[in-house]
């Protein structure tokens, strides 16, 4: 993409309404525009990151054997009356009436609708295990929408629903989600810690939240200092192997890690003092096992091997896809702007032409741009006739991890400059070597 043809409405001033870095930087970098409290349009740069996160979530769900579907945002009230949640959900639910006077709602979550799909089509235990998921907009009329996309009213969520014959199988689905989530967050360059939590309006008594540590997080968390050191890395996972998957979950959940809702002071104090950590965290996902809560209420049964009709065992599993954009920025920024991890960056590399209109510089930049595109990468070329300082400031603000700078002096010596946004370190090299380096870097992130 050439910046002269892009829509990147960056703001020079800090927007007064933004209290935290991610909100401020998303507005300043022209990623989003607020349309109403807690409701945002996603502009090209923001939308690219949202799509990238969505892509990683899809890939890891499919790797775990889960099936993508798409359910509507609007739901009929009667399904929620069947489960008993229509009244229980309270003022957070946006209720709508259509022209025929039928009660509808903008879905805050989809347990009822997926149970309805299941009961319409699945009869036998032989169809199990099955996990259906989608990535779809949700609406929760939060009392205090704040911090931009972190606590929105309309927000983008991945929500998956597992169906199993037995509790044991349902717990395997829970574990499978935990491992798939760990991998998903790691691919984005995030450490998200599973913590024992409270189930709230979704229900059930087995639930973990995934928290990214950040001073601006809304939750207070307590954990063993050894927990953030755990990493899944690139180990092979066979998602059908119950014991292997359970073993990984044990590794990640045996050490103390809880949110304030389930915090147990006595247990925490059993830890050596220098390992007792208290911090704040951003909840970027939550998994639930709730057994037959919805299947019993809504008549979702399967024929068991013994020929009996039994309510199906269920769980639901969510990732805050739009919230992750904010969480990623909270975890990756400095005073100049965003620093995207390679896994989610909107463009792989920036190209800055220090002397637009100079034949040698223009031709070197065009060559770099073409070579990066040819290698399957997506560069952003700042081809505007701006001062060098303004170009650098824009690149630093939007946070592409790598920048190639092309200037007349360098080009005369067949050199360009490759700069890391994270470390600020620059190195001179030929254009060919710079392209090869960028290609290698992203090869490692495929």
Return residues touching ligand P5A (CB under 6 A): 109, 140, 142, 151-152, 155, 157, 159, 202, 283-286, 288, 316-318, 320, 322-323
Identity of the residue, 286 or 419, whose beta carbon is nearer to ligand P5A in the bound complex = 286
Identity of the residue, 187 or 348, whose beta carbon is nearer to ligand P5A in the bound complex = 187
> Distance (Å, rounded) from C-alpha 1 to C-alpha 384?
12
Shortest spacing between CB 332 and ligand P5A, in angstroms = 18
Shortest spacing between CB 262 and ligand P5A, in angstroms = 14
Please name which of 241, 262, 261, 132 lies closest in space to residue 179, comparing C-alpha atoms: 241
Shortest spacing between CB 255 and ligand P5A, in angstroms = 21
Identity of the residue, 155 or 163, whose beta carbon is nearer to ligand P5A in the bound complex = 155
Shortest spacing between CB 11 and ligand P5A, in angstroms = 23
The label of the residue with tokens 């049964």 reads: 301
Shortest spacing between CB 317 and ligand P5A, in angstroms = 6
> Distance (Å, rounded) from C-alpha 160 to C-alpha 146?
26
Shortest spacing between CB 293 and ligand P5A, in angstroms = 12
Identity of the residue, 112 or 383, whose beta carbon is nearer to ligand P5A in the bound complex = 112
Identity of the residue, 31 or 284, whose beta carbon is nearer to ligand P5A in the bound complex = 284
Identity of the residue, 109 or 332, whose beta carbon is nearer to ligand P5A in the bound complex = 109
Identity of the residue, 283 or 383, whose beta carbon is nearer to ligand P5A in the bound complex = 283
Distance, first Cα to last Cα, the chain = 21
**Residue with CB nearest ligand P5A?**
320
Identity of the residue, 142 or 296, whose beta carbon is nearer to ligand P5A in the bound complex = 142
Q: How many residues does the chain have?
A: 446
Shortest spacing between CB 157 and ligand P5A, in angstroms = 5
Shortest spacing between CB 230 and ligand P5A, in angstroms = 20
């Amino acid at each position: 993409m050439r910046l002269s043809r892009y829509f990147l409405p960056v703001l020079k001033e800090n927007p007064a309404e933004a209290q935290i870095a991610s909100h401020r930087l998303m507005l300043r970098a022209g990623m989003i525009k607020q349309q109403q409290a807690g409701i945002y349009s996603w502009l090209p740069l923001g939308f690219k990151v949202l799509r990238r996160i969505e892509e990683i979530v899809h890939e890891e769900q499919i790797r775990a054997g889960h099936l993508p579907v798409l359910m509507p945002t609007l739901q009929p009230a009667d399904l929620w009356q069947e489960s008993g949640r229509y009244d229980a959900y309270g003022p957070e639910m946006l209720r709508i009436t259509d022209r025929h006077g039928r009660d509808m709602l903008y879905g805050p979550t989809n347990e009822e609708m997926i149970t309805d799909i299941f009961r319409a089509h699945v009869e036998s235990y032989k169809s199990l295990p099955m996990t259906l998921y989608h990535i779809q907009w949700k609406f929760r009329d939060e009392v205090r929408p704040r911090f931009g996309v972190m606590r929105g009213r309309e927000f983008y969520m991945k929500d998956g629903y597992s169906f199993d014959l037995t509790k044991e199988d349902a717990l395997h689905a829970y574990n499978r989600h935990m491992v798939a989530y760990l991998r998903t967050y790691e691919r984005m360059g995030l450490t998200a810690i599973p913590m024992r939590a409270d189930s709230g309006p979704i229900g059930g008594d087995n639930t973990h939240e995934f928290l990214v540590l950040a001073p601006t997080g809304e939750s207070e968390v307590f954990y063993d200092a050894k927990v953030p050191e755990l990493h899944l890395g690139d180990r092979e996972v066979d998602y059908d192997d119950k014991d292997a998957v359970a073993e990984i979950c044990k590794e990640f959940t045996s050490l103390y890690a809880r949110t304030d809702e389930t915090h147990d002071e006595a247990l925490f104090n059993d830890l050596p003092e220098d390992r007792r950590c208290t911090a704040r965290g951003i909840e970027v996902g939550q998994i639930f096992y709730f057994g037959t809560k919805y299947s019993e209420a809504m008549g979702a049964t399967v024929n068991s091997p013994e020929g009996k009709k039994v309510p199906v065992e269920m769980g639901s599993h969510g990732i805050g896809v739009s919230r992750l954009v904010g969480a990623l920025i909270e975890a990756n920024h400095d005073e100049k702007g965003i620093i995207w991890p390679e896994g989610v960056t909107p463009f792989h590399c920036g190209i800055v032409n220090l002397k637009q209109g100079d034949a040698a510089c223009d031709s070197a930049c065009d060559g770099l741009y073409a070579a990066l595109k040819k290698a399957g990468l997506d560069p952003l070329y700042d081809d505007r006739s701006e001062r060098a300082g303004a170009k650098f400031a824009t690149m630093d603000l939007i946070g592409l991890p790598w920048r190639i700078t092309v200037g007349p002096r360098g080009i005369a010596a067949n050199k360009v400059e490759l700069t890391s946004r994270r470390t600020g370190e620059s190195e001179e090299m030929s254009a060919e070597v710079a392209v090869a380096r960028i290609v290698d870097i992203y090869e490692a992130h495929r």
